Amino acid sequence: MAVGIVGWGAYIPRYRIKTREIAEAWGDDALRIRDMYLVEEKAVGYIDEDPVTMAVEASRDALTRAGIAPSEVGAVFAGTESKPYAVKPISSILIDALNLKRQVYSVDMEFACKAGSDAIVNLMGLVKSGLIKYGIAVGTDSSQGEPGEHLEYTVGTGAVAYIIGSTNLVAEIKHTYPFASDTPDFWRRDGSPYPVHGEGFTGEPAYFRHIIGAAKGLMEELGMKPNDFDYAIFHQPNARFPVRVAQMLGFPLEKVKPGIVVDLIGNTYNASALLGLAKVLEEAKPGSRILVVTFGSGAGSNAFYIETTDLLPSRVKLARTVGEMLEDKVYIDYSLYLKYRRIIRMIHG
Amino acid sequence: MVDQNLSVPKYWRKIPQYYRLTAVKCRKCGRVYFPPRAVCECGSREFDEYELPRRGKLIEYTVLRSVTSDFEKQRPLAFGIADLGGVRVFGQLVDCPNPDKLGEGAEVEVVFRRVKEDSDYGIIYYGFKLRPVKGCW
Amino acid sequence: MHNSALGYINGFAITPPGRYYDKGYRELFAEVALKALEAAGNPDIKAIYVASALSELTGEQLAIGNVLRDYAGLRNIPSIRIENGDGSGGFAIMTALNHLASAGNGCMLVVGVDKPHEVISLKQNKYASYLLDSDYEAYFGATPVALAAIMAKQYMRSYEYKYEDLATWAIKMHERGAKNPYAYFKRAAKLKDVLDSELVADPLRLYDVSPFVDGAAALVLCSKPNPNDLAIGVINYGFGASNSYFASRNDYTVLSSVVEAAKAVGPLENFNGVVSVHDTYSIFGVLALEALGLCKRGSALRLLNEGYFDQGGRVMVNLDGGLKAVGNSMGASGVYQMAGVVMQLRGDKPFNGLNAESAMVEDMVGVDQESVVFTLRVVK
């Protein structure tokens, strides 16, 4: 049975802040910051946006593109690391916001930035086993960056949703491959407002080791080489890492570039690589072969081999595209950023 | 005890309206009501649920600067009236820093947003808001 | 005509509106209740109607009647609290008149009392939002002034008025308030003051909004006039209602509940005398004049600017300065309005020399929810 993507939807908030604006507030060298991360600007959710609201927006568009009735959905899984409620699911809010039936498997998943892709893998299993017809996998985050700390330069806001099924596929997911280990490169303790990371330690032992492990493992199992793919999309904590990991794996720049969005919206955590995939789906021709490798700190990667079908091009314009949302922007300054992200310590509200 | 200032049931029972703009349509004469009503102007009491379209036109708006205690940190609040498939709906207007730049009958989409929350510990109220598709900046 | 009055106002009293940090609901109530009863010759009272919108919200007091009565020493008289938002006063008067009609004789005491200044302004705004549909309007953060602003915008656009035209309402109300010892704002305002004031909800500015005030006003309504005093009778009243959900009204340039109430009270085109309209916001004052049938739709602001509704004219509007200058005492405001026109019909200071014989009072709940319109006359 072929399983894969029936529909997809993305959501990027309208507001943006330039990394230069943040650097000026802290007296950092804006050019050096830009050179480190290659992130020009990042998306900022408005004061009333959170991973729940963005998940709803992306999922609605995914349902529209899939052209299926909400009642046909049998599972909804939300991958996030910035839940507004520590206890109380996003997925249950999605059930009512999307008007799904009550008989639906639902859970929120957490594995840093990887959980959204785990939602896809789990739904593939449910579809293959015949337990459900369609499932919704969501990656959504408006994660935290401590003011004045370097995460602030890259942490973005966004969501993406995929309808997974076995009929009317726009792209078949032909293979998956996981790679995970206990590697404490980045974490947020329970009750703590901001994540902590190991700077350089997030690179070689974490990001690069796991992504290369998953990508190589997938290609070895399939007997495929970088040349066999039209696109390669990697998790994007900044714009340097995915380009470098592509080089290490032997992918030319032109195969990586179409799937990079971090330079314009920042790292959207659980949406990151999957938002890159949404952007690629908007331009890919039928029969395109795509490698997607996600990464979550702590640490692990999922690699996917995806091949687009003839149905893909006709679905692109049915809902808001990543391309449109990247253009639809209003710049804000640092003070509005603090207000919108609710970073100013407030007694209430 | 964490003090609960916002009612949970009052929000919970209106979830279809807050999340999906679930209106009612009269089985007899076809009139659509949002918010729902128990009795139609034609006298009928039989309705079907009917979700309003999520795109429409802005009829009028204002920006409220003197807000209530629940919205102090969200001010100013823009409000609009939109025509959604012939039904007039009132809601917050968001993502529109300069609404005076909007043309007459500007296109709006219905979006899902946070409305307010009960301090740092209580319930978060979600609901629909109106967002101009383009043109207000 | 002489015997056709629904009731006579045999006594009244008002407290100058203000911020009474040193007085609570009971103190304000007792002050006006006792004065009004004394003015009416201390008749026997069949019932006390308490008009209050905020007694539990700012006074943290339900079942307020017995607390008020006990403090004022009024024994063994049933008390009925009337709550219909900022229209509570008018609805309490209406209910007391109905009670008089069913009793056939006797007197009723109507007291409006409210204390918005027990709480801070953000809370006042929250309680004002309770005047709207709690589930579908206040839920989203709306307050009455936001809806009034939408009406003002639509009205000004429909009839091609500028904001400067609307500012005239505030200027005229302040001018009258400056002469009224019972006004909260006793200072005249210039166009520049209005234009420079902060935006509350565009196009409405601070000067378009009546200020919240603590206040109490009392009336003694009797089936027969006091033989020792001028007889002022309530001749008729009319009630009207509009859609509760603002957006569903489709026409945002008319106060439908006032139109309905005016229709119910009878033809008013040829009315001459003094009028008191419930101008919580300037635009509501303007729209009320049209809804009452005193002028054509779209013409009120032009006529106001031409001085048509000033003292000396056929229809003299809000000679006390309206809610704009007297203040918005929420549940008490309708009783203040009624007391105001009684003073005008009597020719009490500062209204001496008016020689008006007829009056009209329009009290409205929230943003065109429900309205009641009264007509009064000096009965000779």
User: What separation in angstroms does the CA of C43 have from each of C13, C30, C40, C48, C104?
Assistant: 15, 16, 7, 13, 15
**B45: in domain:** yes
Angle between helices C282-291 and C144-158 (to 10 degrees): 60
User: Does residue C150 sit in the same domain as residue C264?
Assistant: yes
Helix (H) or strand (E) holding A211, with range, is: helix A209-222
* Alpha-carbon distance B64 to nearest alpha carbon in chain C (angstroms): 4
Task: Please classify residue A328 by burial: count the beta carbons closer than 10 Å to its beta carbon, then call 0-12 exposed, 13-18 middle and 19+ buried.
Answer: middle
User: Does residue A150 sit in the same domain as residue A18?
Assistant: yes
Could you tell me the CATH number of the domain that includes residue A288?
A: 3.40.47.10
User: Does residue C95 sit in the same domain as residue C242?
Assistant: no
Place of tokens 């003070």: A335
- pLDDT digit string, tens, across residues A115-136: 999 999 999 999 999 999 999 9
User: Does residue A8 sit in the same domain as residue A153?
Assistant: yes
**C323: in domain:** yes
- pLDDT digit string, tens, across residues A272-284: 999 999 999 999 9
User: Does residue C275 sit in the same domain as residue C237?
Assistant: yes
Alpha carbons C304 and C368: distance in angstroms, whole number? 21
Q: Going edge to edge, which strands form the sheet with C79-82? A: C79-82, C47-51, C107-114, C215-222, C7-14, C231-241, C370-379, C358-364, C273-276, C315-317
Residue C305, number of CB atoms within 10 A of its CB: 18
Shortest CB distance from B115 goes to which of C126, C140, C153? C140
- pLDDT digit string, tens, across residues C50-89: 999 999 999 999 999 999 999 999 988 999 999 999 999 9
**C185: in domain:** yes
Alpha carbons C317 and C308: distance in angstroms, whole number? 9
Q: What angle do CA A236, A240, A243 make, to 5 degrees?
A: 80
Place of tokens 């009491």: B45
Shortest CB distance from B19 goes to which of A46, A85, A96? A96
Contact flag for A and B (3+ C-beta pairs < 8 Å): yes
Alpha carbons C256 and C243: distance in angstroms, whole number? 9
User: Does residue A86 sit in the same domain as residue A223?
Assistant: no
Residue that terminates a domain, selected from C222, C254, C279: C222
Whether the CB-CB separation of C92 and C51 falls below 8 Å is answered with yes
User: Does residue A160 sit in the same domain as residue A287?
Assistant: no
User: Does residue A233 sit in the same domain as residue A294?
Assistant: yes
**B3: in domain:** no
User: Does residue A93 sit in the same domain as residue A184?
Assistant: no
Report the chain C residue with the minimal C-alpha distance to residue B10.
Answer: C135
Alpha carbons C134 and C137: distance in angstroms, whole number? 6
Q: Which two tokens stand for residue C174?
A: 């302040």
What total number of domains does chain C contain?
2
User: Does residue A290 sit in the same domain as residue A321?
Assistant: no
Report the chain A residue with the minimal C-alpha distance to residue B137.
Answer: A330
Shortest CB distance from C141 goes to which of B71, B88, B89? B71
User: Does residue A187 sit in the same domain as residue A271?
Assistant: yes
Instruction: Give the pLDDT confidence score for residue A349 in this predicted structure.
Output: 47
- pLDDT digit string, tens, across residues B16-29: 999 999 999 999 99
Look at C135 and B77 and tell me if their CB atoms are within 8 Å: no
What total number of domains does chain A contain?
2
Choose among C275, C281, C274, C276: nearest CA to C328.
C281
Which parts of chain C have pLDDT scores under 70?
A: 1-3
For chain B, give the mean pLDDT.
Answer: 96
* Alpha-carbon distance B66 to nearest alpha carbon in chain C (angstroms): 6
Question: A128: domain range?
Answer: 4-170+315-340
What total number of domains does chain B contain?
1
Instruction: Give the pLDDT confidence score for residue A348 in this predicted structure.
Output: 56
User: Does residue A157 sit in the same domain as residue A32?
Assistant: yes
- pLDDT digit string, tens, across residues B61-89: 999 999 999 999 999 999 999 999 999 99
Per-residue pLDDT, averaged over A46-71, amounts to 98
Look at A56 and B112 and tell me if their CB atoms are within 8 Å: yes
Coil vs helix vs strand at A55: helix
Look at A96 and B137 and tell me if their CB atoms are within 8 Å: no
DSSP letter string over C187-242? Answer: S---HHHHHHSPEEETTEEGGGBPPB-BEEEEEEEESS--TTS-EEEEEEEEEEE-
A113 is catalytic: yes
User: Does residue A49 sit in the same domain as residue A182?
Assistant: no
**B1: in domain:** no
User: Does residue A212 sit in the same domain as residue A157?
Assistant: no
Is pLDDT above 70 for A337? yes
Instruction: Give the pLDDT confidence score for residue B103 in this predicted structure.
Output: 85
Q: Looking at beta carbons, which residues of chain B come within 8 Å of A46?
A: 94-95, 113
pLDDT-based confidence at A346, cuts 50/70/90?
A: low
Q: Which two tokens stand for residue C12?
A: 């009244």
Question: B21: domain range?
Answer: 8-132
Candidate list A113, A210, A282, A307, residue with the active-site label: A113
Could you tell me the CATH number of the domain that includes residue C259?
A: 3.40.47.10
Look at A348 and B119 and tell me if their CB atoms are within 8 Å: yes
Shortest CB distance from B113 goes to which of A49, A93, A328? A49
**B58: in domain:** yes
**B60: in domain:** yes
The count of residues in chain B is: 137
Whether the CB-CB separation of C266 and C351 falls below 8 Å is answered with no
Q: Looking at beta carbons, which residues of chain B come within 8 Å of A15?
A: 95
Any residues with CB less than 8 A from the CB of B86 and at least 6 apart, and which?
B32
Phi first, then psi, for residue A103 (nearest 5°) are -85, 75
Contact flag for C and A (3+ C-beta pairs < 8 Å): no
Q: What is the ipTM of this complex?
A: 0.97
User: Does residue A294 sit in the same domain as residue A319?
Assistant: no
Candidate list A81, A152, A282, A307, residue with the active-site label: A81
Coil vs helix vs strand at B26: strand
Per CB distance under 8 Å, which residues of C are interface residues toward B? 120-123, 125-126, 128-129, 133, 135-143, 145-146, 149-150, 153-154, 198-202, 245-250, 252
Which of B58, B77, B79, B96 is the mutation pick for testing C, counting most C CBs within 10 A? Answer: B79
Is pLDDT above 90 for B136? no
CB pairs under 8 A between B and C: 102
Is pLDDT above 90 for A171? yes
Alpha carbons A42 and A334: distance in angstroms, whole number? 12
**B2: in domain:** no
Helix intervals (H) in chain C = 25-39, 64-72, 88-103, 121-129, 144-158, 163-177, 191-196, 256-265, 282-291, 300-305, 322-326, 333-346
User: Does residue C308 sit in the same domain as residue C318?
Assistant: yes
**B77: in domain:** yes
Is the minimum CB–CB distance between B114 and chain A shorter than 8 Å?
yes
Question: C13: domain range?
Answer: 7-120+212-222
**A349: in domain:** no
Instruction: Give the pLDDT confidence score for residue B1 in this predicted structure.
Output: 86
**C1: in domain:** no
- pLDDT digit string, tens, across residues B28-69: 999 999 999 999 999 999 999 999 999 999 999 999 999 999
What is the Cα C201 distance to its own chain's centre?
Answer: 22
Instruction: Give the pLDDT confidence score for residue C3 in this predicted structure.
Output: 57
